[in-house]
């Protein structure tokens, strides 16, 4: 959901597109030495364990997660219940799997104390009631992206919830997509100084890939006559990419969050969307809900959220009528490379050899081993074939 300034800005931007120009530019940032504590924690209505990730902000040029390991972490609710967290991994603090679960209506605070005595506390966050997802649907739509010379057909997903209670009107959705895909060529031989016949030619061919959609989806239904989300546009996935070779699955995790947390995400989204527009906004440091107890002006980034989660997974098969593909495919057999297969050093063995119409070929591993494209050969537990 964009705000109105932004849409106008886009319009304007497009009007002047014939003369306007956007190009990559490196503005030579001063190296940042500032390390700010970042809190990324959540308590939910799902069964424990809950996780709080503590880290330090990192340089823009060299983004990394710098774990903050020197803390004691616990969450306290308005009835005095304390949920302790232990560091399971550097910077990752988890509550016990058999500890108390988050209860909608209760108010929680995150407390942090470092070994050298620094104390941090979150604002009290009241866990909203969960809102049921009624449906996640899709429509086949064709979009014309700015950065491509052709149009793309694909699936646009939409979400509808059931009417929410009036205190659960702020939503953030986290989308995880998963898909099944194939490498382009079969594996016929392995070469390790000599050819070895492979009987299961599809052994490296089919993979499953699961990944977070790095895009924020949020909506505020607090100003609506009915606090319900109807046909809210989620992501668009083109049927012309490898993701849609066979079957695609979308997991929608819906977080009903507090107004404080929503504001944080709203500002992040506005700041990102408004960048590069004519009516760009003044960017600023977005404050979360964590404060240092003793040092009034210490900035702490990030959020501790109390969120109710509902989720829904859908599976979609590739719609057969759309055959256009716009992704790199291996359609040329590299017979020449095979002729020089003896020149490859043993460190690169085994080499994957396929059989083309004109004999054996040594294509890029990418064309035979589907794992090269980020997936795994194991079928995930949630995966359902039709």
Partner 1 sequence: MKYLRLLIGILLVLMVTTAAGQSDSLRVTADYHNLPFLVFIKKASDELNVRFFYPADSVPDIRMKVLQPPADLLQVLRVNLEPAGFFVSMDRNGNVFVNRGQAIATRLPDNFFSLSQKSPADTERNTSPAGSEKDFLRTNNEYIARTFTIGNRKAGARYASAAIGGQALSFNDSTPLPGATLYIEELQRGAVSGEDGSYQLEVPKGKYTVVVRSIGYEESWFKVEVLSAGDLDFYLLKKVFLMETVEISSEAEHNVKSVQMGMEKLSLKDIKEIPTVLGERDIIRVALLLPGVQSVGEGAAGFNVRGSPADQNLFVIGGIPVYNTSHLFGFFSAFNPDIVSDFTLYKSSIPAQYGGRLSSIFDIKPLQGNREKFAARGGISPITARIMAEGPVIKDKLSYMAGFRSTYSDWVLNFIDVPEIKNSSGNFGDAALNLYYNLNNKNQIKIFGYYSYDQSRLAAKVDNSYQNAGAALSWFHSLSAKHSFDASLVYSSYTFSEDNYEYFISAYRDNYQLEHQQASLNFLYQPTDAHTLRYGATTILYNIDRGNHLPLNDASLVTPVDLGTEKGLESALFVSDEWKATPLLTLAGGLRYNHFAALGPSTVFQYTNGAPKIPENITDTLFYNNNQISQTYQGLDLRLAATYLLNENISIKAGFNNLHQYIFMLSNTIAISPVDKWQLSNSNIEPMRGEQYSLGIYTNLARQLYEFSVEGYYKKVHNLVEYRDGAELVVNQYPEQDVLQGKLDAWGIEVMLRKPYGKLNGWINYTWSNTSVLVDNKITGEQNNFGIAYPANYDKPHAVNLVVNYKISKRISFSGNVVYATGRPITYPTSIYYQDGQKILNYSLRNEYRIPDYFRTDISLKVEGNLRKRKWLHGAWIFSVYNLTGRKNAYSVYFKNEEGSINSYKLSIFAVPIFSVTYDFKLGNYAD
Name which of 301 and 367 has its Cβ closer to partner 1: 301
272 vs 376, beta carbon nearer partner 1: 272
How far is it, in rounded angstroms, from Cα 246 to Cα 319?
9
Q: How far is the CB of 283 from partner 1 (least distance, A)?
A: 4
3-state secondary structure of 49: coil
Burial class (CB in 10 A: 0-12, 13-18, 19+), 306: buried
**Rounded to the nearest whole angstrom, what is the least distance from the CB of residue 257 to partner 1 in the complex?**
10
Neighbours of 305 (CB within 10 A): 27
Rounded to 5 degrees, what are φ and ψ at 260? -60, -45
Phi-psi label, residue 358: left if phi above 0, alpha if psi -120 to 50, beta otherwise: alpha
Cβ distance to partner 1 smaller for residue 138 or 189: 138
70 or 220: whose CB is closer to partner 1? 220
**Residue 37 C-beta: closest distance to partner 1, Å:** 9
Comparison of 175 and 204: residue with beta carbon closer to partner 1: 175
CB of 350 to partner 1, least distance (A): 33
Q: Are 317 and 247 a contacting pair, CB within 8 Å?
A: yes
Q: For the CB of residue 378, give the shortest distance to partner 1 in the complex, in Å.
A: 22
CB of 361 to partner 1, least distance (A): 33
CA distance 353 to 61: 40
**CA gap 155, 139 in Å, rounded:** 6
Question: Is the preceding omega at residue 49 within 30 degrees of 0, hence cis?
Answer: yes
Angle at the Cα of 367 (from 361 to 373), degrees rounded to 5? 160
Nearer to partner 1, 196 or 272 (CB): 272
User: CB of residue 358 vs partner 1: minimum separation in angstroms?
Assistant: 39
Nearer to partner 1, 12 or 344 (CB): 12
Choose among 91, 101, 82: nearest CA to 56: 91
CB of 17 to partner 1, least distance (A): 5
Nearest to 110 by CA among 70, 50, 69, 46: 50
Q: For residues 308 and 226, give the distance between their C-alpha atoms in angstroms, rounded to a whole number.
A: 19
Nearer to partner 1, 297 or 378 (CB): 297
Helix axes 4-15, 259-274, angle to 10 degrees: 10
Count of beta carbons in the 10 Å neighbourhood of residue 107: 15
Cβ distance to partner 1 smaller for residue 202 or 231 = 231
Distance CA 178, CA 213 (A): 10
What minimum distance in Å lies between the beta carbon of 305 and partner 1?
8
């Amino acid at each position: 959901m964009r705000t109105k300034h932004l849409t106008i800005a886009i319009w304007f931007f497009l009007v002047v597109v014939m003369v306007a120009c956007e190009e990559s530019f490196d503005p030579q940032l001063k190296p940042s030495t500032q390390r700010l504590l970042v809190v990324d924690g959540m308590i939910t209505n799902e069964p424990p364990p809950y996780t709080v990730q503590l880290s330090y902000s990192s340089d823009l040029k060299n983004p990394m997660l710098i774990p903050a390991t020197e803390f004691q972490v616990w969450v306290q609710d308005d009835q005095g219940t304390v949920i302790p967290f232990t560091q399971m991994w550097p910077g990752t603090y988890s509550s016990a799997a058999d500890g108390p679960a988050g209860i909608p209506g209760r108010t929680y605070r995150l407390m942090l104390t470092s070994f050298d005595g620094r104390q941090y506390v979150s604002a009290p966050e009241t866990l909203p009631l969960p809102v049921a997802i009624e449906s996640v649907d899709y429509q086949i739509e064709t979009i014309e992206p700015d950065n491509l010379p052709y149009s793309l057909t694909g699936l646009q997903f939409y979400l509808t919830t059931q009417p929410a209670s009036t205190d659960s009107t702020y939503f953030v959705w986290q989308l995880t997509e998963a898909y099944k895909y194939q490498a382009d060529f079969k594996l016929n031989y392995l070469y390790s100084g000599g050819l070895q016949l492979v009987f299961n030619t599809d052994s490296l061919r089919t993979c499953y890939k699961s990944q977070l959609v790095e895009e924020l989806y949020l909506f505020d239904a607090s100003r609506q006559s009915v606090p319900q989300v109807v046909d809210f546009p989620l992501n668009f996935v083109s049927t012309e990419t490898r993701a849609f070779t066979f079957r695609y699955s979308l997991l929608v995790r819906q977080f009903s969050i507090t107004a404080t947390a929503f504001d944080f995400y709203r500002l992040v989204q506005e700041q990102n969307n408004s960048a590069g527009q004519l009516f760009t906004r003044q960017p600023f440091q977005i404050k979360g809900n964590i404060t240092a107890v003793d040092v009034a002006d210490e900035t702490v980034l990030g959020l501790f959220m109390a969120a109710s989660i509902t989720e829904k997974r859908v599976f979609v098969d590739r719609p057969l009528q759309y055959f256009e593909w716009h992704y790199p495919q291996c359609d040329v057999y590299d017979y020449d490379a095979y002729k020089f297969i003896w020149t490859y050093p043993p460190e690169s063995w085994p080499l994957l050899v396929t059989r083309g119409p004109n004999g054996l070929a040594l294509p890029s591993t990418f064309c035979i081993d589907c794992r090269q494209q980020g997936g795994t050969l194991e079928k995930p537990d949630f995966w359902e074939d039709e």
